[in-house]
Chains A and B, each alone.
Chain A
Amino acid sequence: MARLIIMGGGVSGHTAATFAKKYLGKKHEVIVVTPNSKWNWIPSNIWVGVGEMTSDEVTFPLAPVYKKAGIDYRQAKAVSIHPEGKSDSDDAYITIEYTSEDKAGESEELTYDYLINATGPKLNFGATPGLGEGTNLGNHTVSVCTADHATHANLELKSCIEKMKNGERQTFLIGTGHGMCTCQGAAFEYIFNIEKTLTDAGVRDMADIKWISNESFLGDFGMGGIHFSMGGYATSSKIFSESLYAERGLDWIIGAHVNKVEAGIAHYELLDGSMGSQEFDFAMLIPPFAGVGLKAYAKDGSDITDTIFAPNGFMKVDANYGAGAYENWSASDWPSTLQNPTYSNMFAVGIAFAPPHPISKPMTTPNGTMIVPTPPRTGMPSAMMGKAVTLSICDMILNGTTEPTHTANMSQMGAACVASAGKGLFTGTAAAMTVYPIVPDFEKYPGVGRDMNGTTGELGLAAHWVKHILHHIFIWKAKLKPGWTLIPE
């Protein structure tokens, strides 16, 4: 009997665990270690953040789903990895610390034959003074990163709406809270939902809504921008995004590293080195992500964290980490098998793997501050990585293969993104975007780096319908309801 441990129960970890159990059956063990008691369809947190959905509509308890599937679920956080075992045993193991109410604080060692790191990010609010402390959101801004955060954001939003109805003008600041953030897409969707909510509440004329982000141009999205095939033109996402903002009367500040947040004011540095401040009544600023802080130890107890993890805390995989300057970057730098180069029974998927470098061109201010969006690797690519790695591990366990048999390379896979503007079936318009590949390949697709047959963007109600359908089918799939394997990642 082989034992596979998956650290993390988010999109990639849950995908990996459920397919692993399906393929490995009862003869082998699948254990999920996650500190969370609920699964969250994160894309719909945006609707929670404007009161269109409740927290319960975007989450469900993991325990019954894993019980039904025969997956051993430990509500705990992984603390350390010991890939060589310890002095009296060669069995690799991890240490975990329970977070469930009945066992809170208890520690345990779990041996493994294969390990998937799908821990997702640490929400590093503490990286920006005033944004929060460590992983905790501060008092000055709101967040939509978790369902609970989004619920809180909606309460703050409703409070602002009441003030506007009483004649008090309000300023909304939406975007990224640090120069090294990712997930611009979530903030992008949120600002349009805020605008739609205020319009529907009849208070749009009392609101100033402003975007602030670390993108060097609007529409960078952490992917170095995208060219969409639109109306016979290869249209830059800069024009696409600027048009969306201009249509709705939204202002923007780009190339900004938010370096301090105080009550009602955000301070920032721009790419040209100038400093500025923006007052706000309501601010949703995405925090930067970091690894969750796992440690790793060798058999003799020495610390090998630096061997297994990159300095940002994400796990090293089969990427080219020595590419150097932007001019030397290539699509081939990106990992395919997501296998750790030191320990072949260890893999990392989703946000947990260390990218070789950003996708967007790094830029530094005259003051030496680096401002660059970090690569997005959530949602669809995250799930595809989880499944590919699981299939490789299943082949290793069931068929004795020694090398990974499946790949999920972001320079060879696409992503679909639907950004809503409201939730109505007949009102509001969403943006539906497809990108292929996620990481531009300028050798294969000279000029814009992407296949113009697979990279498209359009606005309309149809995208709203798609967003609704995605919400329901992915929660259906995650609950392992009939036909779940037929729903693609």
Chain B
Amino acid sequence: MAEKHLGHIEPYSAQFGTMIPMGGQKFFRTCVLWQLVRFVAINIRMTILILKSHH
């Protein structure tokens, strides 16, 4: 089923030279349970960033 994700890429076009996400990667991007975990992770990362940035 990889064609579903890659079928629009033209050989030797600019798009041909980079990485293209396939089914598993796309699934996790919209998997609510996994994204809840990532939501917590992003918030922790951003909080640390803010704390490091104030002088």
B52 to chain A, nearest CB (A): 6
Q: Is there an interface contact between A434 and B55, defined as CB atoms closer than 8 Å?
A: no
Q: Say yes or no: A427-B55 contact (C-beta < 8 A), given A462-B35, A466-B42.
A: no
Name the interface size band of chain A.
35 or more
Q: Say yes or no: A454-B54 contact (C-beta < 8 A), given A416-B46, A434-B46.
A: no
Q: Which residue of chain A is the closest to B53 with respect to CB atoms?
A: A413
Q: Given the complex of chains A and B, what is the CA–CA distance between A252 and B17 in angstroms? A: 13
Among A249, A409, A426, which residue has its beta carbon within 8 angstroms of that of B55?
Answer: A409
Residues on the A chain within 8 Å of B34, using CB: 460
A417 to chain B, nearest CB (A): 10
A158 to chain B, nearest CB (A): 26
Looking at chain B's contact residues, the main secondary structure is: helix
Q: 0/1 per residue, B1-25, Cβ < 8 Å to A?
A: 0000100110000111111110000
Number of interface residues of B (CB under 8 A): 33
Residues on the B chain within 8 Å of A427, using CB: 30
Among B18, B29, B46, B49, which residue has its beta carbon within 8 angstroms of that of A243?
Answer: B18
Q: Given the complex of chains A and B, what is the CA–CA distance between A432 and B49 in angstroms? A: 13
Q: Is there an interface contact between A426 and B32, defined as CB atoms closer than 8 Å?
A: yes
Q: 0/1 per residue, B33-55, Cβ < 8 Å to A?
A: 01110110111011111101111
Q: Tell whether A246 is near chain B: CB-to-CB under 8 Å.
A: yes
Q: Given the complex of chains A and B, what is the CA–CA distance between A456 and B44 in angstroms? A: 12
B1 to chain A, nearest CB (A): 16
Q: Given the complex of chains A and B, what is the CA–CA distance between A456 and B46 in angstroms? A: 10
Q: Say yes or no: A462-B36 contact (C-beta < 8 A), given A246-B15, A247-B20.
A: yes
Q: Tell whether A24 is near chain B: CB-to-CB under 8 Å.
A: no
Q: Is there an interface contact between B38 and A246, defined as CB atoms closer than 8 Å?
A: no
Q: Given the complex of chains A and B, what is the CA–CA distance between A67 and B21 in angstroms? A: 52
Q: Which residue of chain B is the closest to A408 with respect to CB atoms?
A: B55
Q: Which residues of B contact A (CB under 8 A)?
A: 5, 8-9, 14-21, 28-30, 32, 34-36, 38-39, 41-43, 45-50, 52-55
What 16 additional pairs, Cβ within 8 angstroms, besides A413-B55, A427-B30?
A: A246-B18, A249-B8, A251-B15, A252-B14, A384-B53, A413-B52, A413-B53, A414-B49, A416-B50, A454-B52, A460-B29, A460-B34, A460-B35, A461-B29, A466-B43, A489-B54
User: Can you list 13 residue pairs at the A/B interface with Cβ under 8 Å?
Assistant: A245-B15, A246-B9, A416-B49, A416-B50, A427-B30, A454-B48, A454-B49, A462-B36, A462-B42, A465-B35, A466-B42, A488-B47, A489-B50
